[in-house]
Structure formats: structure tokens, C-alpha cells
Structure 1
Amino acid sequence: MIAEVWRDALHRRHPGPLLACHLGSGTAGGIDRVRFGRRDTVVDLGRRSVDEVFGPDDPPHPFEQVVLVVGTPTDLRRAVPVVAGPVRAARFTVIVRRAAEHLPPPFPMVPGTGRWTGLLDARIKRVPDAGWSVELLLTRPVSLAEVVTALSHGLAGGRRGTATGPLVAARGRDAGVWRPGDALAGGMDEVDAILDVGTAGAEHDPAEPVTPRLRRWSLEDSRWRALGRPGAVPRPRGGFEVDDVPPLDETMINPTGFVQDTEGRSGRLVSREGRWALVVNGRVRRRLPDDGTVTDADIEAVRDLRTIRVEWGRHSGPLASVRAVAAFAAAGVPLLGDPGPSWASCLGEPLRALMSSVCLKDMRDPLRREEHSVRLRRAALRAHGARARWRRLGEITGVDLPAEPTVSVVLCTRRPHMVPFALGQVARQRGVDVELVLGMHGFDLDAPGVGEAVADHRERGGRVIAYEADPALPLGSILNRAVLRAGGDLVAKMDDDDWYGPDHLADLVLARSYSGADVVGNAAEFVYLEELDMTVRLPLGESERASRRLGGGTLMMDRRVWEETGGFRPIPTSEDTQFLAGVELMGGRLYRTHGCNYVLRRRSGGHTWKVGSGYFLKGTVRAQWPGWRPSALLEPSEHELVGGGR
């Protein structure tokens, strides 16, 4: 099959030298049967970077055409740091063999400095196995690096996001694994730090500038057979640590596409001939490469499974083995199994404990299964995600890093008696730096209980900006005035009478990072009907997807998005719906994360949204419980039960 891919990619080649590059599992198969010319060059980017082939200081190498074949979008992002170099061409063909269904087409995000004004033709089409083919023709040559970067940004979609930690020059065959999607890792002369992969134990050359250096094992050098070779660099005393494991590209490996209800089949992750293999009903469904790479296509292929049991075995090496397990966990695949052998300690104790905390019987309950998935993805992304990993490594090198984004919660209410409860929901948020902007609609701090609640919140270390809003103004205008007073990098909207889990804001920040969305939020899956003393879970479709269905009391956005959209509409109701419609019309991206952190309260009156309890019961509900029954992720306390008005 791959030989046909190569022949298809080359069937319209033009006279002149050609560069053929490939990266990803299976992309080299059959390449020996392709007839290349004597002036053509073939490069396996998994083994050598473009700089290593041509030399970083060589003059530009003009090729008539460049062909790049990658296995998946995950591999395309791995290629970004390793294609930096002197290669230029006017014709490009890029083949992505398979891509997860939720990813957008690879429309290139064209550089903004006018270098592509000579673009004559661009063709993007589907190829077999849900892949993509991209053909570009320009009047004058451009660099291979900027083409791959443009396509990588197009496939990732959404915002570019903040930099992944310090500016690092990555050296070695695993550079793309350590800095996926980072064009700066191979293209900048002045950097904050140098990462040497596969040169553990190397001495610093006094002739080189004094730049902070990091050394990490390559996946090749950390194989069991390599560790046992005479003269091999000895393993770290006590084993490998979490930060020795190559990080995960959370842009590709994340919970997007999680399926809440499955048919009930479970899989086993077992070691077969030194590689992880996924076995379902006694048959091998998927074999992972021996370097442990898990791609977006691999994740999509296991979404139908209820669980995967990890059966630790003799994998090719400890780092490759742990890297694969961490990837499935980061994607929210419900994993279970024992904590693993001592060499697997670099997975991190939180993940090891979570995997052994549940059994197959627990996973038959869809809610418990989803809660387990959320805990796994949190732990994995915060331990093994590229952004979190590089923040820690940046601290080790002493590089000054941008601060984590701060969050301003805007909370506007016309009910002074709900202020103490609402402030309690903000106060319990953890893992984020939060300030509260409290818009008091028709009352002030002298209202009974309000001043005391604000003072208590401040005494406990919380930051509050409280202002009295003109009672004649509609809610949309009051929200806009609250945002104008906010000092955070991000703006989150919360309601005064709903319940929020302690990780509500932290999970939204995390979802914003891996989704690249302009606005993130939850859907109101859990609703407490106060009149009936009943909790229902509504069938609102799948979470962890691009979606318009976001609860107004759960929205989080960059302040810039609010400014570009013109803020909330100055209307008394439906201001959230209109705001989201504006973001979408401007080309913005909306993303819905899991709903286990949020319970919507429905009373008999006092809401701007005028529907009764019957509205939530008129259709089929996914689940129904007597009393107040939130997800366990809400971590309810006895104080909240009383304060919530039960």
C-alpha cells in the first residue's frame, strides 16, 4: 500500500532533483521499489534531520520538487523541528496517510510576510484510509520548513497558543519528539537552552557559548538491548524519572473524541515481540512502533472500547513503554491495571495509582468510567504534556518563563442572598490564579450578608473587585462592564446559583490549551430540579468536541476574543447565545469539554431563562437520581449542601 502512495506522489514529477522525506510508522515500506533518479535524495526523518543531511551552514539546496510522506498529523508535527535547513523548492507534495476524523483539513496557514505571494496552485484532496494529499506550486522557491509549519498549523486548527516553555534548540534524532510542532526548535540562532537528545554524559565544549544545556536519553539509547551493551551509558541510579520520558504533543494526543457510551468491549495492551499490541477479543487490532509513538489515528481507533487493561511486559525499553501508556491516559482512554514494574515509575505515581484504583466492574457505569477518564487525562497531561514538561525543564535551566495565564471570573447577580454561596464556589477553585469581578445588579455591599461575604473572601486570600451596577442596565451590558474591570489574561463567566467542582477553571484552562479553541465551556448535562428535589443527566450529545452547545455559566475565553467580538450583546437574556454566535461567525472555534464539574440549579423562579422543571423532563434523560446527586468530580462538601439551599 505505501509503495502505491509513493508512486502516486511521484507520478507527476518534473525533471530535476527531487527530495523524498518520510516519517511515521509504515511510511518506509516499499520505498525500495520506487525508482528514484541519481540526483534524488531520500531522507528518513526518524533517523536524520534535514540539517544533518545537508549541513545547517550549507547554501540553499534548490530541488525541483519535494515529496513528504507522513503517517499521521502527529507525525507531521514531529517533522516540523527536523526539516529546518537549507532545502527550498517551488513544488511540494505532502501526503498524510491517516488522520483522525475530528481534525480539520490541512489548509496551510500562509506566512504573513509576503513570501507566498507567488503561489500559483494549491490542491487538497482526500486519499484512501482517511488521509490527505496536499500539492503546492509556487513561482519561486520557499523553504521546506515553512511549508511543513504552515500545514502543521492548519491541521492543528484554532489559536497558535503560547510558546511551549523556553526557546530551545533541539539536537539529535528525537528532536521532533521533544519539540513537536515547534518551528523555532530548529530555526533560531539565539536560544534560551540547548537540548541534546542521545548524548547523555557528554562534556561541554569550552569553545561553545555558555548556554544552558539539557541532556536526555534518546529512545534508541534507552532500549533494553542498548542499555545492556558493553560501554553503554549506565542507567540513572534509581531508574528513569518522569521528565526523562519524551513529552506528549497534547495538540494531537488529548481527550477530543472521547465516547461516553460504548458497546462494552474491552481491550488489552500487551507486549508482543518487544512492542505494545492492542488485543481485542483475542485479535490484534493495533501494533505500536517500538519507540512507543501513539498518534491521533491510534487514539481514534480505540474510542469504541470501554477500557484497556495494561499488561506490563518486556517492551523495547522503559521510556518507549511508558510513553505509550501515558499517551492513552492523556487521551482519556480508561486504563486499568496494576502499577507496573519498578522501571515504570517514570509514568508518575499519580497515574500508576489511578490505573490500579478501579476494576472492570466499575467501568460498567458510564459516569464512573468518564470520571476515571477525566482523572487520568488530568494527571497525564499535567505530568507528560509538552507544555507542562517544558515549564519544568525551563525552571531547571533558570530560564525566565511567561507566567501561567490568570483567570478573571465575572459573576453578575441581582440576588444578594446568593452572593455568599457564589463566592464559595469561586473560592474552592484550585490550580489557577483567580480574581473575581462581582457585578451587584441593583444592590451594594451594604445588602445583608454581602459585605461580610466579600470581606471573608478577601481574608482567605481571594481577590474581589465588587461594583454596583445600574439596575436599569440589561445583563449583557453589566457583563461587559465587569470584563472591562477584569485584570486576568482569561475571562470566565460563572452564575450565582450553580455548583462548580474545584477543578472547573483548571480543566477549562487545560481544554483551551489542547483544543486551541477561542471559547471553551461545558454543557449543562447535570441539572438539579429544586422543586422536585431531583438530579437528572441530560442527553446532550458527546463532550470533548467542537460544539455550539456550551452552558452560559461555564464560558472561558481570551480577553482578545471578547474584544474582537464586540463583547456581549446589550440584552437582558440570551446574551451568551448571541456572543457564541458572534464568535462563530467571525471564524472562531468553540469547544466543549466534559460536564462533570458543573451542576445547573433550576428553581421555581428568579432565572433570566424562563423555563420550568418540566422542560428538563420532557424528553429521555440519560440518568435520574433522587436528591442532589452531582458527579464525584464536584467533590461536594457538607457545607456546600447546606449553603446550596437544600
Structure 2
Amino acid sequence: MTGGSSTDRPVAGGRMGWRLAGRPAPTLPERVGGLAGLRVLRMPGSGRVLVLAGTVDRIRQAQADPRSLRPVRGVAVVVAVWRAPWRGWSGGVGPVGHLTGQRVSLPRRGRGTASVHLRLARAAPLRDVLEAALGALAPNRPLPAPASADLTAVGGLPAYLPAGPGVTVPAGELPTSTDIRAHDVLLDPAAADAGPVGSTGGGSSPGEPAQTPYAVALPAGRHAVTVGGRPAVLVDARRINPYGRREDSYLPDAPRARLEFGGAGRDRRWGFGGRGGSTFRPLTGTGLEAADLASLRQVGVVECGPVPDGDPVGAAALLAQVAMTGAVLHAPDLPAAVADLLAPDLARSVTAPTVGTDPLALEARSVRQRRAAMRGHATGFALPDLTAAAFGAAGPPSVSVVLTTRRPDLLTSILPVLLGQSYPELEIVLGLHGCDLPDPVRALLVDSGRPFEVVPVPASTGFGAALGVATGRARGSLVTKVDDDDSYGVDHVWDLVLARHYSGATLVGKGAEFVHLEDLNITVRRPSGRAEYDGDLVAGGTMLIARGDLEAVGGWRPVPRSVDLGLIQRLRRAGARIYRTHPLGYVYHRRATGHTWDPGQRYFLTTAHTQWDGIPTDAYADDRRDVHPLAYPVVAVR
């Protein structure tokens, strides 16, 4: 990319580069995907291209390359190693203008080679056509929002800018419009930094043409935008995230890797037909590639050598990317110029002393790091905050926490946990199923400062119908269900929203891995499906879904029990994607009575692989414990 800001250029006299050393050997599917690599072959005279990709990750890698802006009339995408999100799943090609033909071929057993062929009547950027093809392979639903700004990138493709309906990268001159403001946010390397972003008055009165072509113009480099003279590092979390992270990566014998810096050679031509170049890759590139992501899914800790300060933006962007994969990054030698560009929680975390050999402590640190990196640097959250003053809106999407209960005595325990969530845009919807609201609980709600709704439901109403009545009063763009007898970490809602952002799944949730047996005061951890992966089930007390998606499949079934399973079955039939994020921050409680499904305590003891006396604090992975993690005695269950 040319024309970047002065804070986003390689060090004078030579380029600074980086490499991941000592990373583990890829698994067999990853080796096959690596052999296929990424090739974009143009068919002369036809305007069509053939994209050969080892994995879906490599298609997203191609989208981040500036050459993906070249126009094409058709695409044939072949993915060598593809896996269906769930058995029997089928997706659909996403929207793309002037589509005249499509063909999708998926392997019969849900694993193998997949292909998507698209033909267009008019040429469109390869990046946009690949986005449409991805709809049939790994659909991505953007976070819902009642209002959002269109983004226009000028002069190149920033590494942090994902494809989507609100994002354009013009190939020629900047389009204008006399009917409506042509651009909301302009990301332009040549833009002048006007200081803190405020309202530019770029709108117009009803019925009058727009007076300015944009509302906000920000100087944009390869990995950052500049606001008030300060670069803000951004990362595309849809491409860089912990998807596919392995459970054994937190064990004491898990592989480790080293992040090293040195002089960069010529650019690596990983795609578009080129061959490999220097071992060190320049910091001005896109950062982590598909092969790096495949390796980091197995890595527990990445030890970082001395970080150079010649290109602070490039270094900070790379560190944020590594942290967003879930690998625990330890960078004790961090220059002030780089640390200042990282989110404060992330900078503290990567420089803090490493934890011991306790797997749970390491996993908790991984969760805290990726959470801090995404909240501070993911484009979907950070860029709207940077431009909020110009549009009068900020913050992540609103979430309604829906709690329907017959047991008002439990509200004094669960409500403080919900009201204390770190997520800023949170509403509490309390469905009282045949019971009254105790006065102390009402006072707690009134004094909390959170918006809330109290919804009385007759006792004769079935639980599914009661949950539907309460959900109907929710005002959030996203809805999450909680149970009155379980416990949650303060960052639980944030975890779900982040997972919804980077997975693009219709429904996200956590597994019930941590189970507290209250009569014995023992917490066990048991297998409950693969975390950070597509799946069939999530714990009912952790489900998060957009309200529009919930209503599109008919909402909750009016059944007396198993309402969670009823919704999941509807979503499966609708072809929806279900994603299970990490299990930390949610503890499922078992008591002697009061459970519809009760296999007995022995079931949980015999299926567990680890147990603790009481509840280990690291099971909640709260951010406030990041700098000084504690280890807890672990008892192996034989």
C-alpha cells in the first residue's frame, strides 16, 4: 500500500520484519491445506479467476490483499479442506450484484473438498465476489445495529477493513452524490488530521442535496487510523480470532512459539501465483496469515523477544493479532511507543509475569488477553467509537438479558451478578412466572442505573410461552437467556458478543463444562463439546441471538420444558450456524432438587477430568485478575 501516514511506515534505511519461530508442525488437515496454499489464477480474456485455497482461512487472507480489488466477471473457488459447521448443514451464496449463475458443490459427508462457481453480468471486485462465495462455505452475519456509518477506503485496502455491505473501496475516483451524502467515514491516507472527531455538519435538511461528500475523514495507514495525532491500531476480528483453538493448548506440555523481529527481506508472495521469499515478513504486510493461525491454534504461549520501536504501529498491530488468536502472548520487553498504542488492559497483560503450569490459570489468561485485544482493537468495536462524536452514537450493540423465574428467593443472588456485568449497553428483562417481585429486589433494580423491564406472567403459562412473553418486551438488538440458579463472571456478556462478532454465527453460547455440586461444595470440569468451534448445542443459560434472528424462526416454542433444545432444533432446520465459545465465565450449578434433568451427582463426578474444592476463581476469567493470576490446587479425577 502506498501513501500511508508517517506513523505507519517501515523504519528508515530498511524494513523491519517478524517471524514465528519454533511453532509446532501442522496437523494432517492443515498440512493438506498448506500444500494447496492459496493461488489466484486469471483466465486470459474471460474476466474470470480460479481461486485454489487450502482452507476457508486462506480465502479471507486473499480478501485482505490489495490485489483483491481487481474486477472480475466470475469466480471458481475450490477449498481443499472444508468442514461443514454441523452435519447436514447447507449454506447459501451471499448477495453480489448482477449474479447470473451459481453452482455450489459440498462433500457428501460434510468433510472434504468444496467448490463455489459464480458468474456475473458486470464485473465486480474479486473481494466482494469472494464474500458472496463465503456465504456458502462459512456464513458470516454482521452484528446488528439500529444505525451505523458506511466506510469508504481510498487509495488502497487497509488490513483491518472487512468486506461487507457498508464497506466500499473505490477503484477510481471517489464517487459523489447529489441526493445523499456519498460517504459517512472516509479512510484516506492523504487526509489531514483535523484533531478529535466531531460533527462536521455534513448532513442536509430534508429535501435538500447533501453539501459535503463525507462526514468524517481520517488519515488511514495499513494498520491504523489517526485521530488527534494519535494512531489507533485496528484488526479485522473476522479474520484474526480464536476459532479452532485446541483444548490441549493449555496443558504444561503444549507447544510454545517465539515471536522474533529482524530485518525484512522482499515481500512474500503467498498468493496470486507467487513463491515464498524472506523468512522474515515485513511489518507493513497484513500480519498473520492462514498458516500462522493454524499453528497458533495449538500453541499455549508465544514468548516475544525485544520489540523494536522503529515501526510502533506495525509492531502493535502484530501483537494485538497474536493476542486475538488466544495464544498467550508474553512480551516483557515492550517499548513505550508500542505499549502506548495497545489497549491498556492488553499492554498490562502481555507484559505481566507468566503463570505457572496450572492449565486453568493459563486458559484464563488467554481469555482475558483475547478479550482485551478485541475490545480495544477489533474494527467492529473500535472504529465506531472513534467516530461516535460525529454521529451521536457509540458503543457495542445493545443486549437484553432475559431471566424468567418462578423462584423470587434466588433473585437476590443472580441480579447483582447481572447488574454488575462489564458490558455497557445492557438491559435486564425479568419475567416473574407466577410470583411477585420482592421489595429489596425492586430497589436493587431502581438503584442500578440499568434499564430494566419487569414482566408478570401467569403461573398457568408454560415456561416456553412465558419466556416468549418476557422476550417480547426486550429492546436490545441482541438477546441472551440466563438461568436463575447458575453463576456468571462479570465479563460473560462481553464474551458472547465478541464471539458473535468474530464467528458471525446466528446463535452463540458456552458449554456447561464447569459444574458446581453444591451439596459437596465441589466444582468439576467435564467434556462438553469443542470450544471455539461450530457445534450443535450450547448451554441454555448462555444462549445469545439477535432478536430479529430469533423471531425469524418463530421464537421460543411454547413447551413446558427443554425450550433451549426447541429453539436449537428450529435454528438447525433454518440452516443457522451455532458457535460455542470458551466455557469460562459460566458455572452450571447442581442441587439436590429442582432440576428437570437429574442424572444424579455421580454422573458428573464420573464424567469429570478435574475437580476443585469450592469454585476456582479462574473459572470466571474476570479481567480484574489479569495482572496477578492465582493458581489453585487441582485434584485429578481417576
TM score, norm. by length of structure 1: 0.74
1:257-316 deviations in Å (ceiling 9; x for gaps): 122323422111111333899xxxxxx998545424213432112222221101134487
- Cα drift, residue 564 of structure 1: 2.1
* Distance across 1 between alignment mates of 2:371 and 2:224: 30
User: Which of residues 465, 470, 495 is equivalent to 1:477?
Assistant: 465
* Distance across 2 between alignment mates of 1:409 and 1:273: 50
Partner of 2:428, secondary structure, is strand
User: Which of residues 93, 113, 136 is equivalent to 1:109?
Assistant: 93
Q: Which amino acid aligns with 1:413?
A: T
Change (3 A) 1:586 1:624: same
Provide the aligned length of Structure 1 versus Structure 2. 541
- Cα drift, residue 494 of structure 1: 0.8
Does structure 1 conserve the Cα–Cα contact (< 8 Å) formed by 2:388 and 2:394?
Answer: no
Does structure 1 conserve the Cα–Cα contact (< 8 Å) formed by 2:92 and 2:135?
Answer: yes
1:14-52 deviations in Å (ceiling 9; x for gaps): xxxxxxxxxxx9999999xx9x99xx6xxxxxxxxxxxx
Change (3 A) 1:201 1:562: closer
* Distance across 1 between alignment mates of 2:467 and 2:392: 35
Map 1:409-424 → 2, pairs under 5 A: 409-424=401-416
Q: Does 1:308 align with 2:302?
A: yes
Partner of 1:553, secondary structure, is helix
* Distance across 2 between alignment mates of 1:214 and 1:27: 40
Change (3 A) 1:122 1:595: closer
User: Which of residues 494, 502, 515 is equivalent to 2:503?
Assistant: 515
* Distance across 2 between alignment mates of 1:339 and 1:177: 26
The residue number in structure 2 matching 1:503 is 491
Does structure 2 conserve the Cα–Cα contact (< 8 Å) formed by 1:192 and 1:399?
Answer: no
Does structure 1 conserve the Cα–Cα contact (< 8 Å) formed by 2:78 and 2:114?
Answer: yes
Does structure 2 conserve the Cα–Cα contact (< 8 Å) formed by 1:444 and 1:467?
Answer: no
Q: Does 1:340 align with 2:334?
A: yes
Q: Which amino acid aligns with 1:75?
A: Q
Change (3 A) 1:156 1:358: farther
RMSD of Structure 2 on Structure 1 (CA): 4.1
Q: Does 1:192 align with 2:184?
A: yes
The residue number in structure 1 matching 2:7 is none
- Cα drift, residue 217 of structure 1: 5.6
1:507-528 deviations in Å (ceiling 9; x for gaps): 1111111111111111111111
The residue number in structure 2 matching 1:74 is 60
User: Which of residues 259, 265, 268 is equivalent to 2:258?
Assistant: 268
Q: Which amino acid aligns with 1:251?
A: R
Q: Does 1:350 align with 2:345?
A: yes
* Distance across 2 between alignment mates of 1:285 and 1:131: 31
What percent of counterpart residues are identical? Answer: 29
Partner of 2:345, secondary structure, is helix
1:159-204 deviations in Å (ceiling 9; x for gaps): 244489532321123x2424221463225641013221266679xx
Does structure 2 conserve the Cα–Cα contact (< 8 Å) formed by 1:166 and 1:401?
Answer: no
The residue number in structure 1 matching 2:217 is 214
Change (3 A) 1:551 1:336: same
* Distance across 1 between alignment mates of 2:410 and 2:223: 59
The residue number in structure 2 matching 1:167 is 150
Q: Does 1:531 align with 2:519?
A: yes
Change (3 A) 1:319 1:635: closer
Change (3 A) 1:193 1:469: closer
* Distance across 2 between alignment mates of 1:276 and 1:355: 30
Q: Which amino acid aligns with 1:358?
A: P
The residue number in structure 2 matching 1:444 is 436
- Cα drift, residue 151 of structure 1: 2.5
Does structure 1 conserve the Cα–Cα contact (< 8 Å) formed by 2:264 and 2:281?
Answer: no
Q: Which amino acid aligns with 1:250?
A: A
Change (3 A) 1:553 1:30: closer
Does structure 1 conserve the Cα–Cα contact (< 8 Å) formed by 2:265 and 2:279?
Answer: no
Does structure 2 conserve the Cα–Cα contact (< 8 Å) formed by 1:492 and 1:556?
Answer: yes
Q: Does 1:374 align with 2:358?
A: no
The residue number in structure 2 matching 1:567 is 555
* Distance across 2 between alignment mates of 1:276 and 1:255: 29
Does structure 2 conserve the Cα–Cα contact (< 8 Å) formed by 1:82 and 1:186?
Answer: no
Q: Which amino acid aligns with 2:124?
A: S
The residue number in structure 2 matching 1:83 is 69
Does structure 1 conserve the Cα–Cα contact (< 8 Å) formed by 2:367 and 2:621?
Answer: no
1:311-331 deviations in Å (ceiling 9; x for gaps): 134487332222211111011
* Distance across 2 between alignment mates of 1:170 and 1:309: 35
Change (3 A) 1:82 1:165: farther
Q: Does 1:364 align with 2:357?
A: yes
Q: Which amino acid aligns with 2:606?
A: K
Does structure 1 conserve the Cα–Cα contact (< 8 Å) formed by 2:400 and 2:475?
Answer: yes
* Distance across 2 between alignment mates of 1:258 and 1:434: 29
Does structure 2 conserve the Cα–Cα contact (< 8 Å) formed by 1:99 and 1:296?
Answer: no
User: Which of residues 605, 615, 634 is equivalent to 1:617?
Assistant: 605
* Distance across 2 between alignment mates of 1:194 and 1:217: 9
The residue number in structure 1 matching 2:532 is 544
Partner of 1:591, secondary structure, is strand
The residue number in structure 1 matching 2:75 is 92
The residue number in structure 2 matching 1:406 is 398
Change (3 A) 1:474 1:108: closer
Q: Does 1:251 align with 2:251?
A: no
Q: Does 1:581 align with 2:569?
A: yes
Moved more, 466-475 or 600-609: 466-475
Map 1:278-317 → 2, pairs under 5 A: 288-292=281-285, 293-314=287-308, 317=311
Change (3 A) 1:325 1:465: same
Q: Which amino acid aligns with 2:236?
A: D
Partner of 2:319, secondary structure, is helix
Computing the radius of gyration from Cα coordinates, the structure with the larger value is 1
* Distance across 1 between alignment mates of 2:223 and 2:413: 55
- Cα drift, residue 406 of structure 1: 1.6
Partner of 1:304, secondary structure, is coil
- Cα drift, residue 347 of structure 1: 2.6
* Distance across 1 between alignment mates of 2:148 and 2:333: 30
Does structure 2 conserve the Cα–Cα contact (< 8 Å) formed by 1:77 and 1:152?
Answer: no
1:113-149 deviations in Å (ceiling 9; x for gaps): 7x32x317666899xxx997654456x4443455234
Change (3 A) 1:107 1:561: closer
User: Which of residues 588, 592, 602 is equivalent to 2:590?
Assistant: 602
Change (3 A) 1:74 1:477: same
Change (3 A) 1:159 1:348: closer
Change (3 A) 1:26 1:269: farther
* Distance across 2 between alignment mates of 1:602 and 1:106: 37
* Distance across 2 between alignment mates of 1:382 and 1:569: 34
Q: Does 1:493 align with 2:481?
A: yes
* Distance across 2 between alignment mates of 1:424 and 1:507: 18
The residue number in structure 1 matching 2:17 is none
* Distance across 1 between alignment mates of 2:136 and 2:168: 19
Structure 2 residue runs without a partner (length 5+): 1-33, 177-181, 195-210, 268-276, 625-638
* Distance across 2 between alignment mates of 1:260 and 1:297: 19
- Cα drift, residue 367 of structure 1: 0.8
1:410-467 deviations in Å (ceiling 9; x for gaps): 211221211211212211112232222222223223xxxx222122221222333223
Structure 1 residue runs without a partner (length 5+): 1-24, 41-62, 203-207, 223-234, 278-283, 638-646
Q: Which amino acid aligns with 2:264?
A: G
Change (3 A) 1:259 1:350: same
Does structure 2 conserve the Cα–Cα contact (< 8 Å) formed by 1:102 and 1:257?
Answer: no
Does structure 2 conserve the Cα–Cα contact (< 8 Å) formed by 1:165 and 1:387?
Answer: no
TM score, norm. by length of structure 2: 0.74
